[in-house]
Chain A
Amino acid sequence: MNEIKLPKCCMAADDDIFKQKREELRKRLLNSEPISIGQNGEIGTNTKNGDKLIPGGKLADALDDALRSQREAAQNSNTGEDEFTRRRQQLADALRNAQPVTLGKGGKVVSANDKEASFTVPQGKLAALMQWYERDPTLLDAEKAAMNRDFPQFSLIKLNDGRLAWVGDVKLNVMGNNSWRLMAVYQPNHPVQQMGSSVYVYLVEPSIEALIEQLGWRPHHLLRDSNNRDYLCTTEASYVKATSTQVTSANTVLRWAIKWLLCFELVLTGDMTKEEFDQPHGI
């Protein structure tokens, strides 16, 4: 059997003294009376030189105050962040919608009625963010007139990203009764002098991918857009006009597309060789 041996001590005798001391401390604590902390950290009720007093106030309040101040600081910090986020969002919306933006000292963006407001950026969009038809509505009218004259079967649509496109069918009557559905998509920076022009012509039906798969041969004169889709290389850049007096329109590009398709049909009927069609400097 295990035995626990307790050393001899005056525990019982001292216990009454400690009990009294604890009772005294309890009363002082409950009554918020001063309690001293000795140099070695011993708690007492008699203040001696060098002792420190626990300051008045309740424990709970102190914690609450600390928590409250910390929470407020955090909330202010969050509020500040929210405020910045909100202001950034407002600024982005204003820029996107071409609304006026007001600047204060040092170029700081402020609200229009702010004391610091010193300059308002005039209404309007950055050219790079605009579609060509917003910059030049007269050109859009001219494009529509040209299309309606020669390609009345084409309809103008707007893509989700704001680009305009003409969609319609052409039937060349060279290779039987087949028709081609084309989509001529204006790039946002139209007009630009570039290979294939700034109006990209895609085969909608039949698709170029389906044709390549069926023929087992990929026509050389195709270009790839930024999404890796093939569109017709309708012309070399040198034939494209993009000046203040002359612009290569969708009408012109579609006429070149008809030539491309005519050559393609003649290859399929065996009247033109693939080599002739694919020759580097085109037809």
Chain B
Amino acid sequence: MKCSKTADEDENKKKRAELTRRLLNGETIAFGEGGKIVDVDSEEAIATIPYGKFGD
């Protein structure tokens, strides 16, 4: 049985992988209070990151 710390780490790793996928695919990203990254359909979501790439 995994300890809770390892379970959290796995969960975070999944979250980061999903964020990376969304970013690379140009999908919507949302953030809540203090800039915390949250799910787009989360109640915590304040705003989404507008379309537009950084780059040259």
Q: Which of B23, B35, B36, B50 contacts A283 (CB 8 A)?
A: B23
A150 CA to B54 CA in the complex, in Å? 21
Considering the complex, which residues of chain A in the window 199-255 have a beta carbon less than 8 Å from any beta carbon of chain B?
A: 221, 232-236, 239-240, 251-252, 255
Binding site of A, secondary structure by majority: helix, strand, loop or mixed?
A: loop
**Residue of B at shortest CB range from A238?**
B52
Chain A residue numbers with a CB within 8 Å of B46 are 149-150
Chain B residue numbers with a CB within 8 Å of A240 are 52
Considering the complex, which residues of chain B in the window 23-46 have a beta carbon less than 8 Å from any beta carbon of chain A?
A: 23-24, 26, 29, 31, 34-37, 46
Q: Please state if A262 and B37 are interface contacts (CB–CB under 8 Å).
A: yes
- How many B residues touch the partner, as a band? 20 to 34
Q: Please state if A236 and B23 are interface contacts (CB–CB under 8 Å).
A: no
A272 CA to B16 CA in the complex, in Å? 9
Whether a CB of chain B sits under 8 angstroms from the CB of A75 is no
- Total contacts A-B at CB 8 Å: 101
Q: Please state if B53 and A239 are interface contacts (CB–CB under 8 Å).
A: yes
Chain A residue numbers with a CB within 8 Å of B52 are 235-236, 239-240, 256
A180 CA to B35 CA in the complex, in Å? 10
Q: Which of A174, A233, A236 contacts B37 (CB 8 A)?
A: A174
Chain A residue numbers with a CB within 8 Å of B17 are 271
Q: Please state if B34 and A236 are interface contacts (CB–CB under 8 Å).
A: no
Question: Closest 7 interchain pairs by CB?
Answer: A282-B55, A170-B35, A239-B52, A282-B53, A282-B54, A271-B16, A235-B52
Q: A173-B37, A234-B54 are in contact. List 12 more A-B contacts (CB 8 A).
A: A171-B34, A179-B34, A239-B50, A240-B52, A251-B47, A258-B31, A262-B29, A262-B37, A266-B16, A271-B20, A280-B55, A283-B53
